[in-house]
Every structure is written in structure tokens, then in C-alpha cells.
Chains A and B, each alone.
Chain A
Amino acid sequence: MSTLWRKLLRDILRMKGQCVAIAVLIALAVGTFVGFASTHRSLSSSRDAYYSEYRFGHVFAEVARAPRTLAEGLRAIDGVESLELRLASPGLLSLPAFDEPVSARLVGLPAVGEPELGLLHLRRGRWPEARSEDEVVVSEALASAQHLEPGDTLRALVNGRTLYLHICGIGLSPEHVYEVRPGDMFPDNRRFGVLWLRSNVLEQALGMRGTFNEAVLRLSRGVSEDEVIAAVDRALRPYGGLGAYGHARHVSARFISEELKQLEAMAFFVPSIFMAVAAFLLNIIVGRVVAIQREQIATLKALGYGNLRIGVHFVELSTLIVLLGAALGVLLGYAIGVSMTQMYAEYYRFATFRYAISGREIAASIALTLLASIAGTLGAVRRAVALRPAEAMRPASPATFRRSLLERLGLGRLLSTSGRMVLRNVSRRPLRALSSCVGIAMAVALLVTGLFFGDAMNVIIDNQFRRSQRQDVSVVFNRPVSMGVVHELRHFPGVLFVEPQRAVAATLRHGHRTYRAAISGLVREGRLQRVLSTSAQLLEVPEHGLMLSETLAKNIGVKVGDTVEVELLEGRRNAPSAVVTAIADEPFGTSAYASIDTANALAGTSPQVTSALLQIDERHRLELYRRLAELPTVAAVSSRKAMLASFDAMTEEVLLFFAFILSLAAGAMAMGVVYNAARISLSERERELATMRVIGLSRGEISVVLLGELFTLVLAALPLGCALGYGLAKATAVASSTEMYRVPLIVTPRTYVFAMAVVLFSSALVALTVRRRLDSLDLVSVLKTKE
């Protein structure tokens, strides 16, 4: 080992506290990057592998009822490589030992053999026998949430008919990686699941022999999806086609790709913050090392060491620290990746979901780290190299001070001597003070951002499911039913109030832009369902015309006053036009609202409803469920309370996980910056402080000078951090908002207070250790060594 290397190692050992602080920050940067990026890649490659191996479709279409003889025509569409026609239906399950209704999607398998597209992966058990009347494969999510096993029996209500089904297998499908009830955001695996059975069972139950109501197509390479979609729509229109769509619009696929998008944003934002702060700390530390080692550098030069070698020496110093951090970071990244993958595996079910860390992520993070390290040290190294040896040999000239701005404003008299020293020190190196301040502020900002996610989610859920929707139970019908049903429901046991809704399936067209939406016809000034804005303002459903959510309005490029064509996907299938009379600034989704009368008028039907919201007397809940299950027109029954519980569980787990990681990291960051600032001031001012002690000042009095400086920085950083945090929260909100939901920019005072408290607390911890060092200041040796 060369002697310079030995010097390097000893220098590092001497500053181990500071080096560790930087290494930890680098580890956090590398760890979050590697963790998020590897999870991103694992998730997306698992998805891609699953989709291609299990033949996930490219185009999907639903239709009311079409003859299977259409198969030939559909296959003949240019670019269609394979086709799967099937029956599917909603159903209600009753499970032993579970009182609440469980909704299900029942999917027909070919009467014999396996489907051509959307293959099942059997975890356990076997396929239903050919043409079996009662065998069923249950989705893994439902099976594990409800502890169902092959051999168990369940009762299903489909189209008013009761089926007794035997579970023969537990399986998964690429179409239900994210297994969520249609219209829901979060999975509730205890109350929703997918069942696969032989199509003859469904044909019988639905009375749809020789027909299909779902088509899935896989296309050959390089085929225009849009053209196929148009052709499929033409073919299915006469049979009640609901509009074909590409896999980007497929619910499960969409959730995954939006999750990936968010992960990508995280993999960029979070590590950048840590990296920036780490680079800044490196800059300060290496700068300080160069300042302290002025004479050593000159001596090395006098001995004949060249600029390059000396420059390299200091780059090596930072590189070593950084590599140590990067190594730790890769381990941390692996841990983050593994636990995120585990968490994802609960919500995204793949046949195989393998987590792997790739050399590419490691190499990229190390390259980034080295870059940051070089960027962080370049200035200091340049200063080291630029020193003329003869000049460096002389002690640095005393720092020039001047009276601080406050003093020049005449406020100096208000300050004690130590107060003045604090101010002058801070203002002597304004750039460094500012960057320390920004570093600490970053920690506050990171916390604000981390916690903001929780705030935002709470607000979303609170708005959506406590204030916007207030029903106890919602009932979805499998087709539009007459208003009479509403009256009937009023007399069901325990029902206190009924609010009807009318959803109209349609494609909204504005110019050449279209969007397939369900227009929700709501009761104006409804009690149970209200539309709320992002800031929780009540938005009134207009009497005439449509109210579109902002996202949808942007999507098809309309503003208030524009007219859209409503191409009906049901009933007469004509295309009345409607005026957009309001735009809703909503956190969720791409919705279109109308008054229930307008909705029915657009559909051109007599007053009909598609779902009903109920307010009930809890004591009769189970009895009500039983009665509802008997109605042949009921497709799904769900309880808001149960939904809320599942949301809460999910948000708690997912969001707290991220918030917790970020908070820990931010605390570490604050400590790192404050600790470094303290150590640097201490090393710069040891002599001065010792001299003050020699003159007769007490330990407390000299601490005031140093700690006062630190706290000035911290105090200045707090509001700055809150402001930065707000900005960062805004950026993350924008980056992670998707078509499915917009993250509202809401930061609660509690979040600010908590973020500041964590940083203050971390700083106080550091101040304590600094105070201990000050107390043990060795006066004689400090004064003896020449600066």
C-alpha cells in the first residue's frame, strides 16, 4: 500500500463520524435508487413475462350478447392472430362462515380444454373436467383471503339462479393481476374474487347458449390496434357492443402501468435529494480537509508530488467514502427491493414474481455516485492543486470579518458579544451557511413530502368514502331496471333511505377525440352520493348537460360550453349530443356526471336505475343481504364500511411504509448536515474557542457561540424546508398523478410541525454531542499546535 494511501485511510479514520454521515446519505441515495429501480424492473419484467407466457390479450371487447358464429368474421380481421370468445357474468357468492355478500366475476372456460388467450396458471388442484356442471377454479387472491381450498363448496347466485360449485383448483390469470372489483381503486380480496368454470354452466345460468359477451384478441406484430378496434366495434355493434379497447385501458394492466410510472418518479426524485445533499456535504468536508492540510499539500508539492497525484489523492478520499456508502446502499437497496416486492406481491399477483437486482442498476448507481462525488469535490480539489507551494507553506491569512448586516443596520447593540460572533460567523461564509441551511431544509422538505403522501391519501379517502359517498350499502344491478325497484327496496328490512343512480355506457366524442365512459346519472342534491372537488367543495350536478372531471375534459379537449357527442353503447345506440355545463376538479378518475333525468333522457329510456345506494339500520344488515341476494337483477352488493376498512388497511401498509422510510432517511439527513456543520465549525474555531476559555469564559458561554451558530442555521432552515417541501410535494403530486387519480396538493399543519420537530430533535441530539466535545476541549494542546 502506498504511503499516501495510508495517509488517506488515517485521515478518514480521524473524521469517521463525518465520513459515516456522508456514507449513510450516499447509502440512502443508492439504496432508494437501487431499491426502486430494481423493483420497477422486476415488476415490469415479471409482468411482461407473465403477459406473453400466459397470452394476455391485446384488445378486449364486451358485448351484450353475440352469436359465436361471429368468430370467423372476427378472426378474419386484418392482424388478428388469435381470438377468445367467452361468457362472463357478475355473481354473488355466499361463503361458509362469512356473513357479508362476496361479489365475483365468473368467467367461462371453453367447454373442453384450455382457453386460447388469458391462460390460467393453476397454483393447486386441477382444471374443471370437460363440460363439468359444478367444478370451479377460484382466484388465488380470494382463496387465500377466505381460506378456500380445493374440495370446498360454495354457493353462487348468477342471474337469479343458485349454483352449487365445488372448488377443483386455485389459479390466476394475467387479466386479474390486480384483482379489483370493477370501479374500485383498491383490492378487497375478501369480498371480491374471480371464478373460472366451464362455459356450459354460464350458458345455462344466463340463458345464452351459443353466444358470447366478451371477446379477447391477440394481434400480430406491427398491426395497428386502432384499426382492429374499429373493425371489432363494427362487427359487434349490432349485438350491443360496448366498445373495444386496447390493453392500455385494461383495468388490471392500467393499475400496473400506473404503479410503474409512480415507481419511476420515486426512483428519480428520492435518490436525487439524498445525492444532492451528500455531494454538498462532501464538498464541505473535502474543502475543510484541504484547508486543514494546506501545509501538508505544500509539503507534498515540495517533495515533488505533482498536481495530478495530489488531486487524485483528494478525489480518492471522497471516492472511498462514497464507495463505502454505495456498498451499503446496494445492500439497503436489496432490502428495500425485497420488501417492496413482497408488498407488491400481495396486490399484484403474477404466476411468478421474481425479484432480482441487476448489475445494471448497481453499475448505474455507482456511476451516479462517483459522478456526484467528483462534482462534490472538484472545487476543493482544484483549490488544493492551485495552491502555490511557497504560499501554502505560510499559514493562511486570518479570515476577514466584517460587521454583519444587522449590526450595520444599527441593531448590533441589541446583541451580546457572543450573539455578534454568531452573526459574523454566519455572514462571513454566507455561501456555506446558505448551503448548510439548504441541506437541513432538504431534510424538512423530504419529511414534508414523505408525510404529504399520507395526508393526500387520507384526504382522498376521506373525501371519497366518508364525505362523497355516504351510503351504508350499495346495490348494483346487472342491467337497467325500472324505478319500481327503488320503491320495492324501500320496503326491504332495515332500509331507511334509497337513492337511485343511472349509469349510461357511452363513448364521448369531441372532434376526433373519444373516451369510453360511464355517465353517472345522480340525484341532484343527493344525500348519499355527492361530487366533491379536490379541495372537498361540494360540486352541484347540473340540471342539464354534463359535468366532466377535469382529467376527462382535458383528455378529449373540451371546456364548459362545448358540445360532445354521446355515442350510446346501449339501448338505441344513437349518438345524441350534450353540452358540457360544468367541469369538476376531482381527485379521482375520469368521470362524467349528469342529473339522473338527463342520463335517462340521453339514453332515451323511461326512468331507469342501474344501482341504488341504501342507508340502513345496522341491526338488519344480514337479513337485508339475504333478501338482496334473492333478487335476480342484483349483480353486486357492497358495504361501504368494509370498503373503508380495506382502504385503510392498504393505505396504512403501503403509504406508511414509504413515509416511514422517507422519515428515517430525512432524520439521518438532518443529523448528517448538522453534525457536519458542527464538526467543521468546531475544527475551524477550536483555537478561538480555546482562547475564549483561557480568557475566562465558561463552557456554557463558549457553547453559545458554536451552538448558537448551529441553531441559527437550523431555525432559518425550518421555514425554508417547509416551503421547499411544499414545492417538492407539488412536484411529486404532479409526477405521481395519473389518469386514474390526481393526488391533491394538501399538506396539513401537523405534517409541517412533525417535519420540523424531527429535524429540531435530530439537531438537538447533534448539539449534545458537540457540547460534550466542547466540554472536553484540551486548552493547552489546542493552543500549542500552530494553525
Chain B
Amino acid sequence: MSETQRDTVLRASGVTKVYGIGAVAVQALRGVDLELFRGELLVILGPSGSGKSTLLNVIGGLDAPTGGSLRYEDHELVGASDKLLTHYRRAHVGFVFQFYNLIPSLTARENVALVTEIATSPMSAEEALEVVGLADRMDHFPAQLSGGQQQRVAIARAIAKRPQLLLCDEPTGALDATTGRLVLEVLDKVNRELRTTTALITHNAAIGAMADRVVTIADGRIARIDVNERRAAPSEVSW
């Protein structure tokens, strides 16, 4: 990794998140410090319930942290207005979820168009679907697509706006090995070709091999960060 790449896109410091109050309060994040560097592929590992999704949601502006600070470039996200968070998500962040979250009443192309219509300098919906290898399925409805295909539509939708950050919460969690690898390949390709900073949650430790860095979370804290010398190709990842 060269020094120019170690350009920080987002910096989280001392981020905490508590759900509920009083006796039923759950401390999901207990002070997380983390930097995301421009263009890197970051894999987040950790047992179920350790706070991975919470962290990703907070980073993506989907949820407000209880404490700490989150700086995206020059903007502080903690305590930001809903308007600013909406703008942040609209302009800079792409999301990919475990269950794809496509709008069932819209075709693949239209699901992507949902983003291209509101982004400032997006690629076309067709282009984005081309990138994920679905040029021939543009007019299918989600119900007519397999899980892997749906997830690739979701990725196309996430990258169509050319986001700074691509946040993926267990994107292969609901997929089998072959399909999962296909999705990982698309994510790897997007990361390499578009240089999109990508954070990917998984509970499959083997996927860590394809990352620049691997963050392990346990009980709401960062337990360790490993830096890979070499990124493995997705096809080499064992399942």
C-alpha cells in the first residue's frame, strides 16, 4: 500500500451506541476508533451480535451514534441534521444488504434508476448493470431473479452513483458458495476499477483474504486490525 493511498476518507473516534434505556439498554458499540482509507477494501469480521451492522449503519448515516465523533472528509456526522445525513447518503454512500432490499415492484433497471435519478453524476443504469454482468436481465422484476442476481442488482444500484463509500452488510450471507464468489468478484472489480472505498461485513473469516485490511470486532470494540500483504482473488477464497 503506497502512502498516497493512506488518505483518510472517514474517521470514527470513540463511537458508542446504546440501544434502549435503563435495564433493557444494550451497549452495541463501546468506543470504536477506525479510519477508512481512500480506495481500500476493508473486511469486518466478528461474531453475531458483536456490533458489526451497528457500526456500518452508523458509518453510513443510517443510524445516529450515542457518542463519539464521525468525520467524513470535512463534515462531522454525529449530531448532523437529517437533511445533511440524507445528502451524505445520496451523494457519497452506496449500500448493499444481506437481503438485497430491492423494490419488488420495480425492474432491475428501474431499481438502479431510483439512484441515478437523484445522484449528481451517476453512470447510467445500463452501465451499472453491465458492470455487475446483468446486461441481459435489465427488465426482470426481482421476483424473476435468483438471489445472486438480485444481490448484483443491489450492487449495481449501490455503485451507480459512483459513491465514495460502498458499505456491504453480509452481502453473501444468503448465498451459496458459487453465487457468493460471483458477488465477491463484482465487489472486488468495483473496488479495483472504480477505486471505491469498500467496507464489507462477513462472518466468513476466509473472505478476509481478499481485503487490504481485516477488522475484527468483538463485543462492541475493535479487537484487532490485520493488514494483508497481498489481496487474494475472490476465486481463491475458500467457503
Contacts and interface: CB of A to CB of B under 8 A. Distances in A.
Interface of A: 2-4, 6-7, 10-11, 14, 295-296, 298-307, 388-391, 393, 786
B233 interface: no
B101 A304 contact: no
Contact of B63 (A295, A300, A389): A389
A304 B106 contact: no
24 contacts: A2-B117, A3-B106, A3-B117, A6-B106, A10-B106, A11-B105, A295-B99, A298-B101, A299-B95, A299-B97, A300-B114, A302-B97, A302-B101, A303-B89, A303-B90, A304-B90, A304-B91, A304-B118, A304-B161, A305-B86, A306-B90, A388-B63, A389-B57, A389-B62
B110 A295 contact: no
A393 B97 contact: yes
B118 A305 contact: yes
B87 interface: yes
A389 B60 CA distance: 10
Contacts of A295: 99, 101
Given A6-B106, A786-B99, A302 B117 contact: no
A7 B105 contact: yes
A302 B90 CA distance: 8
B114 A3 contact: yes
Contact of B101 (A6, A14, A393): A393
B117 A304 contact: no
A12 to B, nearest CB: 10
A296 B114 CA distance: 12
B83 interface: yes
Residue of A2, A304, A786 most packed against chain B (CB within 10 A): A304
Contacts of B104: 296
Interface in B149-198: 157, 161
B218 interface: no
Contact of B86 (A6, A10, A304): A304
Given A3-B117, A296-B103, A393-B97, A302 B83 contact: no
B113 interface: yes
A605 to B, nearest CB: 88
Nearest to B161: A304
Interface in B74-121: 82-83, 86-87, 89-91, 93, 95, 97, 99, 101-106, 110, 113-115, 117-119
B86 A3 contact: no
Given A3-B114, A6-B110, A301 B62 contact: yes
Contact of B62 (A4, A306, A390): A390
A388 B119 CA distance: 21
Contact of B114 (A10, A303, A389): A303
The bracket for how many chain B residues form the interface is 20 to 34
Contacts of B161: 304
**Most chain-A CB neighbours within 10 Å: which of B54, B86, B115?**
B86
B172 to A, nearest CB: 17
A767 to B, nearest CB: 29
Main secondary structure of the interface of A (DSSP, over half): helix
Given A7-B106, A296-B103, 15 more contacts: A3-B117, A4-B114, A10-B106, A296-B104, A298-B101, A299-B101, A300-B103, A301-B62, A301-B89, A303-B157, A304-B87, A305-B118, A306-B86, A389-B57, A390-B54
Contacts of B115: 303-304
Contacts of B89: 301-304
Nearest to B125: A3
Contacts of B110: 3, 6-7
A778 to B, nearest CB: 13
Interface centre among A7, A14, A295, A390 (most CB of B within 10 A): A390
Contacts of B57: 389-390, 393
Contacts of A393: 57, 62, 97, 101
Contact of B103 (A7, A307, A388): A7
B154 to A, nearest CB: 9
A307 B90 CA distance: 12
User: 5 nearest interchain CB pairs?
Assistant: A304-B90, A390-B63, A10-B105, A390-B57, A390-B62
A735 B43 CA distance: 74
B119 A304 contact: yes
Contacts of A10: 105-106
Contacts of B118: 303-305
Interface of B: 53-54, 57, 60, 62-64, 82-83, 86-87, 89-91, 93, 95, 97, 99, 101-106, 110, 113-115, 117-119, 157, 161
Nearest to A395: B99
Given A6-B106, A10-B105, A302 B157 contact: no
A710 to B, nearest CB: 28
A391 B86 CA distance: 16
A6 B111 CA distance: 11
Contacts of A298: 62, 101
Contacts of B114: 3-4, 300, 303
Nearest to A389: B62
Given A389-B62, A390-B57, A302 B95 contact: yes
Contacts of B82: 306-307
A11 B117 CA distance: 20
A3 B115 CA distance: 9
Contacts of B63: 388-391
Contacts of B90: 303-306
A303 B106 contact: no
A10 B53 CA distance: 32
Contacts of A14: 105
Given A302-B95, A388-B62, A307 B86 contact: yes
Contacts of B93: 302, 304
A556 to B, nearest CB: 67
A608 to B, nearest CB: 86
Contacts of A389: 57, 62-63
A302 B62 contact: yes
A306 B101 contact: no
A389 B157 CA distance: 17
Contacts of B97: 299, 302, 393
A222 to B, nearest CB: 60
A298 B99 CA distance: 13
A579 B105 CA distance: 81
Contacts of A300: 103, 114
Nearest to A2: B117
Contacts of A11: 105
A10 B107 CA distance: 11
A299 B114 CA distance: 11
Nearest to B103: A296
Nearest to B104: A296
Contacts of A2: 117
Given A298-B101, A300-B114, A390-B63, A306 B83 contact: yes
Nearest to B95: A302
A394 B19 CA distance: 14
Contact of A301 (B86, B106, B117): B86
A296 B102 CA distance: 7
Nearest to A12: B105
A37 B161 CA distance: 53
Interface centre among A303, A305, A393 (most CB of B within 10 A): A303
Contacts of B117: 2-3
A303 B95 contact: yes
Contacts of A786: 99
A299 B16 CA distance: 24
Nearest to A296: B103
Given A10-B105, A305-B86, A3 B62 contact: no
B51 to A, nearest CB: 13
A299 B91 CA distance: 15
A150 B95 CA distance: 88
A360 to B, nearest CB: 38
A786 B104 CA distance: 13
A295 B62 CA distance: 13
B64 to A, nearest CB: 8
A303 B116 CA distance: 10
B129 to A, nearest CB: 14
